[in-house]
Amino acid sequence: MLNGHGDDLHLIEGEIKHNFSSNVYYKGCPKALLDEVSRCVNQIQSYPSPTANELNILAAKKFQLESDQFLFTNGATEAFYLIAQLFSNKKAAIVAPTFAEYEDACKIFNLKYKLINASELQSTDVDLVFICNPNNPNGNVFSKSELESLFEQKPNTTFIIDEAYIEFTTRIKSIVSLTSKYQNLIVVRSLTKTFTIPGLRLGYVVSHASNIAKLLKFKMPWSVNLLAIKGGEFILKNYNTFQFNASELLEETAVFRNQLSALEGVKVCDSNTSYFLVELLHKTAKEVKQYLIEEHQILVRDATNFNGLEGEYIRLSTQSKEANNVLIQILKEWI
């Protein structure tokens, strides 16, 4: 397991005032959702359903698909490990730089994998391809037409499309509806980021029913705990009410990025999301991160351990206007 992805708040002693390292929505979990989960605490005295099947029914209604096209997991990460287990000893490609858990899952289940650029997808002959869309850490996106072209041209390759951040962009929309059309498509999604519940660990797989049936053979019973199920039920029944306005978030991000771009010693990279890479021209990511923690109780993501990303980079995720301004002023004075 790669230490330091997601965020490493758990490794830091003392208070962190502003956390720019985590890509979850900065305004936090909706109060109504927190209240609902709190109300259900006494129910932990009973076992949850073994496969969280009640969530399948609600998700099927939301996405207008069949309930047997869904599998809920202990965060999206469990989904990647189940998929790697299903394809054990096969060949895989990972479009990099990207989320480290794809690599870790491949290593554990003996998939022979290679990191590739997006431009190499057409010429790569493998059993399995991992694509994060929008991508973490750089916010790059593949359009629906680009992906469909791959699915059709490579029917013997299964494509894992990670849509954990699909609601953090306005450039593309989810392709879950295509899972009824393409049997070589597996979409992995997360409720963690949009609704700020990383501690509950709740993700899900959407695919052709035959693929879900295969994954179920490897799934550990009760991996999704009761509070996660209750939280998931409440979210799926109130999805549109709880979902943040992506356009507003990206407007805030544009202001933040423009202010950072005016600073000496940094290069702000393009992104289609509220998180983005910042290249450090004169300092290392390690020293910037440590300085911000020790002197200002601010946490940023050291992005140098993303395989396939060369150079000194930090990743930032838009926070409140006040927090953004604090970071900008500190970097202006220091860098």
**How many domains does one find in the chain?**
2
d(CA 84, CA 128): 9
- The verdict on residue 326 lying in a domain is yes
Instruction: From 193, 210, 242, give the residue that closes a domain.
Output: 242
Q: Are residues 281 and 199 in the same domain?
A: no
DSSP 3-state assignment of 326? helix
Q: Are residues 21 and 35 in the same domain?
A: no
- What is the pLDDT, as a whole number, of residue 2? 47
Instruction: From 242, 270, 299, give the residue that closes a domain.
Output: 242
Give the mean pLDDT per block of 10 residues along the chain (335 residues): 55 84 96 98 97 98 98 98 98 97 97 97 97 98 98 98 98 98 98 96 98 98 98 98 98 98 96 98 95 96 94 97 97 87
Q: Are residues 270 and 130 in the same domain?
A: no
Query: Which residues constitute the domain of residue 145?
Result: 31-242
d(CA 92, CA 99): 15
- The verdict on residue 140 lying in a domain is yes
Q: Are residues 219 and 123 in the same domain?
A: yes
Q: Are residues 199 and 313 in the same domain?
A: no
- The verdict on residue 235 lying in a domain is yes
What pTM does this model have? 0.95
Q: Are residues 200 and 296 in the same domain?
A: no
Here the CATH number for the domain that contains residue 289 is 3.90.1150.10
For every residue of 161-190, DSSP letters joined together read EE-TTGGG-SS----GGGGGT-TTEEEEEE
- What is the pLDDT, as a whole number, of residue 4? 42
Pairing verdict, β 91-95 and 313-317: unpaired
- The verdict on residue 3 lying in a domain is no
